[in-house]
C-alpha cells in the first residue's frame, strides 16, 4: 500500500491546532460600524431591508456609539439624512446640518475611544440624489462638485471628524479636499478615499436607509463592474493625491480588485461590506437556509484574507462581541 507523502490534515486535526496555524485573523479593532442618523427623529426607526439596522435619532445614536466603543470596534462611519434637500446639497456643509451636529455629539461621547469618521458625499443632501451638483444638461459637474466637497470637508473637520470618507468618485476629489483641509489648518484630519467604488446592484438597501432621491444611475462616475485594472489605477491616483487610506466597495463581489489594490499601494486598504451583502445573508438566515453566524464570520474573514486591513460592516459591533467571546 502506498501512503501519502504529504499530510496537510495534520494541521487541521483539533481546534487548538487550527487556531495556532490560522493564516487570517479577525480583531474587533479591524471593524468599522456604519451608522445612519436622521434629522427630526425622537427615537430609532428600523430599516426594513436591513434587519437590525436603524435610522437613529441623536439620542439613540449616542447609545449606539457607546455600545460600539464598548465592543471594541475600531471606528464608526456616520451618514446623515436631512429633512430638507436642495440641488446643491446645502445641508452638507451647514454647521447645524444633521451630519455635522451628529459628529459633534459622537466625538463628545466616544471620540477618545474610537475613530469617528464621516461620509463626505452630497447624495444624501441633494434633491436629485446624485453625488454632485448638476450641470444644465443634467450631468454631474465634476469640478463644481469639488468646490462643494472642499466646503463639506472643512465643515466636517470643524465638527470634529477624525477621518473623512470621500465616497463621491469625482476626479481630483482627494487633492481638492486635502488642499482645503490643509489651508484651514486641519493637517491631521485623515482622508479615506473610496477609490474603487463600483456602480452595481448591491446598494439598494442603503438607498432606503438614507431615503435616497436618486433617479437614474451613477454609472458616469462610479466604476464599471467589468473593470479591475481601473480600480487599481484609481487607488494609485488617490494615494498620489494624498489619501491616507484607500477603499474598495462593495467587498465580496470585488475581492480580486481588493487583492490587486493591496498589492499595488503602500497605504492601508479597507473594504466596505455593503447593504446588499448584509441583506442577502440576513434574508437567507431568516429563512433557515444558511447558518447566520457562520456565514457572517466567513464573509468577513474572506474580505480580510483578500487584503483588507479594516472592514466597514453593519455587523461590526456584533462580530466584535463574538470575537471577544472567543
Any domain includes 15: no
Q: What is the pLDDT of residues 8-29, one digit of tens each?
A: 999 999 999 999 999 999 999 9
Any domain includes 210: yes
Q: Is residue 88 very low, low, confident or very high in pLDDT (cuts 50, 70, 90)?
A: very high
Q: Check residue 194 and give its pLDDT.
A: 98
Q: What is the pLDDT of residues 169-184, one digit of tens each?
A: 999 999 999 999 999 9
Q: Check residue 228 and give its pLDDT.
A: 98
Q: What is the pLDDT of residues 94-137, one digit of tens each?
A: 999 999 999 999 999 999 999 999 999 999 999 999 999 999 99
Distance separating alpha carbons of residues 10 and 52, to the nearest angstrom: 40
Q: Is 314 exposed, middle or buried (0-12, 13-18, 19+ CB in 10 A)?
A: buried
Any domain includes 10: no
Helices (H) and strands (E) in the chain, counts: 11, 10
216, pLDDT greater than 90: no
User: Which of left, alpha, beta for 257 (phi over 0: left; psi -120 to 50: alpha)?
Assistant: alpha
61-74 core/surface letters (b: 16 or more CB in 10 A; e: else): bbebbeebbebbbb
1, pLDDT greater than 80: no
Any domain includes 17: no
Q: What is the pLDDT of residues 53-70, one digit of tens each?
A: 999 999 999 999 999 999
Domain containing 214 — which CATH number?
3.20.20.70
Any domain includes 85: yes
Structurally, the chain folds into a number of domains equal to 1
Residues with catalytic annotation? 197, 249
Q: Check residue 211 and give its pLDDT.
A: 87
Q: What is the pLDDT of residues 278-312, one digit of tens each?
A: 999 999 999 999 999 999 999 999 999 999 999 99
Residue 56 DSSP symbol: E
pTM score, whole prediction = 0.96
Any domain includes 1: no
Express as a percent the part of the chain with pLDDT over 70.
100
Q: Cell triple for residue 317? A: 459591533
173's enclosing H/E stretch is helix 173-183
Question: Which residue range forms the structural domain that includes residue 292?
Answer: 27-325
Question: What's the first-to-final CA gap in the chain, in angstroms?
Answer: 42
Q: Is residue 166 very low, low, confident or very high in pLDDT (cuts 50, 70, 90)?
A: very high
Any domain includes 276: yes
Question: Does residue 295 contact residue 11 with C-beta atoms inside 8 Å?
Answer: no
Amino acid at each position: 500500500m502506498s501512503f501519502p507523502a504529504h499530510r496537510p490534515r495534520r494541521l487541521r486535526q483539533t481546534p487548538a491546532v487550527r487556531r495556532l496555524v490560522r493564516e487570517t485573523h479577525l480583531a474587533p479593532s479591524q471593524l468599522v460600524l456604519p451608522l445612519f442618523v436622521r434629522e427630526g427623529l425622537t427615537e430609532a426607526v428600523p430599516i426594513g431591508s436591513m434587519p437590525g439596522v436603524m435610522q437613529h435619532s441623536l439620542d439613540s445614536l449616542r447609545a449606539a456609539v457607546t455600545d460600539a466603543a464598548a465592543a471594541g470596534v475600531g471606528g464608526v462611519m456616520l451618514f446623515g439624512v436631512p429633512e430638507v434637500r436642495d440641488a446643491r446639497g446645502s445641508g452638507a456643509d451647514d454647521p447645524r446640518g444633521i451630519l455635522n451636529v451628529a459628529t459633534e455629539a459622537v466625538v463628545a461621547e466616544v471620540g477618545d475611544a474610537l475613530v469617528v469618521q464621516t461620509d463626505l458625499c452630497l447624495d444624501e443632501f441633494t434633491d436629485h440624489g446624485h453625488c454632485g451638483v448638476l450641470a444644465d444638461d443634467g450631468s454631474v459637474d465634476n469640478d463644481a462638485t469639488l468646490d462643494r466637497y472642499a466646503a463639506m470637508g472643512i465643515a466636517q473637520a470643524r465638527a470634529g471628524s477624525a477621518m473623512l470618507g470621500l465616497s463621491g468618485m469625482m476626479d481630483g476629489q482627494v487633492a481638492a479636499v486635502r488642499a482645503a483641509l490643509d489651508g484651514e489648518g486641519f493637517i491631521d484630519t485623515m482622508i479615506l478615499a473610496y477609490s474603487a467604488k463600483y456602480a452595481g446592484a448591491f446598494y439598494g438597501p442603503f438607498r432606503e436607509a438614507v431615503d435616497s432621491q436618486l433617479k437614474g444611475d451613477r454609472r458616469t462616475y462610479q466604476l464599471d463592474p467589468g473593470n479591475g485594472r481601473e480600480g487599481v489605477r484609481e487607488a494609485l491616483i488617490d494615494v498620489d493625491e494624498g489619501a491616507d487610506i484607500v477603499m474598495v466597495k462593495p467587498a465580496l463581489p470585488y475581492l480580486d480588485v481588493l487583492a490587486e489594490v493591496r498589492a499595488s499601494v503602500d497605504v492601508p486598504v479597507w473594504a466596505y461590506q455593503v447593504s446588499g451583502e448584509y441583506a442577502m445573508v440576513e434574508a437567507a438566515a431568516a429563512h433557515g437556509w444558511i447558518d447566520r453566524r457562520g456565514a457572517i464570520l466567513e464573509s468577513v474573514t474572506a474580505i480580510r484574507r483578500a487584503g483588507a486591513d479594516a472592514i466597514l460592516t453593519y455587523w461590526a459591533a456584533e462580530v466584535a462581541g463574538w470575537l471577544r467571546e472567543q
